[in-house]
Amino acid sequence: MLKIAIMGAMPEEIAPILEKFRPYKTTKYADNEYYEATYNGVEIVVAYSKIGKVFSTLTATTMIQHFGCDKLLFSGVAGGINPNLKIGDLIVATKLSQHDLDITAFGHPMGFVPGGSIFVEANKELIEISKEVAKELGKTVQEGIIATGDQFVHDEKVKDNIVKYFNADALEMEGASVAVVCNALNVPFFILRAISDTADTDASFSFDKFMESSAIISAEFIMKMVQHIVDTK
């Protein structure tokens, strides 16, 4: 049976998804909780990883290696850096990069380490499904580059550097690490984010105000994608 992982970083990012899968089974593994359910002939594993690249790496790896998931969908919020992205707008990652991975001291480009690549591309079929779902809903969903790092960005200069090096449209703290895991383990993945702030000096206030509503916007879209995958399997 097809087994889909649905991941967020924070409880608020998965709560609107989890409630759709009641009753679910809760399993504790590697100091985190995983919620398992069956939905119209598809197995689902939901979890929030906790914030950052390390926790999200652990959760994505666990969902694939321990729970046996064969697709991974990530839902959550992001800071917008492309001025076209407003609070509540959705962005689908076409490719992702770690903006804080820096061995430029040795002549390498930002985001690159030997054996890796600056960008990891998301699965094209899942992006295609997101376009179909957006069309069905009459919703605009932008595609773009997401930059990931272990910092909440709230500074124009940091933002400008991320644009300079990665031409990123949005930034967050888990997408690229999940992408690296899925890419290494050959699992198709999809990263969706709704904008909660614009990573400027007001970012923490904006995040506190809009995180929950934007998390719901992203979660609802992910649920429509799950429905589409179930209907067309």
- Selected binder of ligand ADE within 173, 179, 181, 216 (CB under 6 A): 173
Rounded distance between C-alpha atoms, residue 233 and residue 231, angstroms? 6
Q: Of the candidates 90, 86, 229, 116, which has an alpha carbon nearest to the alpha carbon of residue 176?
A: 116
**What's the CA angle centered on 145, arms 153 and 71, to 5 degrees?**
105
Taking contact as CB under 6 A, which single stretch among the options 15-23, 35-43, 57-65, 151-159 is the one that binds ligand ADE?
151-159
Does position 172 bind ligand ADE by CB under 6 A? yes
Does position 199 bind ligand ADE by CB under 6 A? yes
Residue nearest ligand ADE by beta-carbon distance? 79
Rounded distance between C-alpha atoms, residue 212 and residue 15, angstroms? 10
Taking contact as CB under 6 A, which single stretch among the options 12-20, 53-61, 135-143, 195-203 is the one that binds ligand ADE?
195-203
Does position 178 bind ligand ADE by CB under 6 A? no
Taking contact as CB under 6 A, which single stretch among the options 13-21, 55-63, 82-90, 194-202 is the one that binds ligand ADE?
194-202
Does position 92 bind ligand ADE by CB under 6 A? no
Tell me how far apart the 2 most distant CA atoms of the chain are, in Å.
53
| Min separation Cβ 30 and ligand ADE, Å | 23
Query: Would you please indicate which residues are annotated as catalytic (active-site) residues?
Result: 13, 197
| Min separation Cβ 1 and ligand ADE, Å | 33
Return the H-helix or E-strand segment holding 122. Answer: none
Does position 79 bind ligand ADE by CB under 6 A? yes
Q: Which residues contact 232 (CB under 8 A, 6 or more apart)?
A: none
Q: What is the DSSP code (8-state) at residue 79?
A: E
Does position 169 bind ligand ADE by CB under 6 A? no
Q: Of the candidates 128, 61, 59, which has an alpha carbon nearest to the alpha carbon of residue 92?
A: 128
Q: Of the candidates 166, 171, 164, which has an alpha carbon nearest to the alpha carbon of residue 200?
A: 171
Does position 191 bind ligand ADE by CB under 6 A? no
Does position 46 bind ligand ADE by CB under 6 A? no
- Selected binder of ligand ADE within 5, 101, 181, 203 (CB under 6 A): 203
Q: Can you tell me whether residue 151 is helix, strand or coil?
A: coil
Rounded distance between C-alpha atoms, residue 128 and residue 198, angstroms? 27
Rounded distance between C-alpha atoms, residue 164 and residue 148, angstroms? 14
The first and second tokens of residue 187, run together, are 């699992």
Taking contact as CB under 6 A, which single stretch among the options 52-60, 87-95, 137-145, 146-154 is the one that binds ligand ADE?
146-154
| Min separation Cβ 11 and ligand ADE, Å | 15
Contact positions vs ligand ADE (CB under 6 A): 77-79, 152-154, 171-173, 196-197, 199, 203, 207
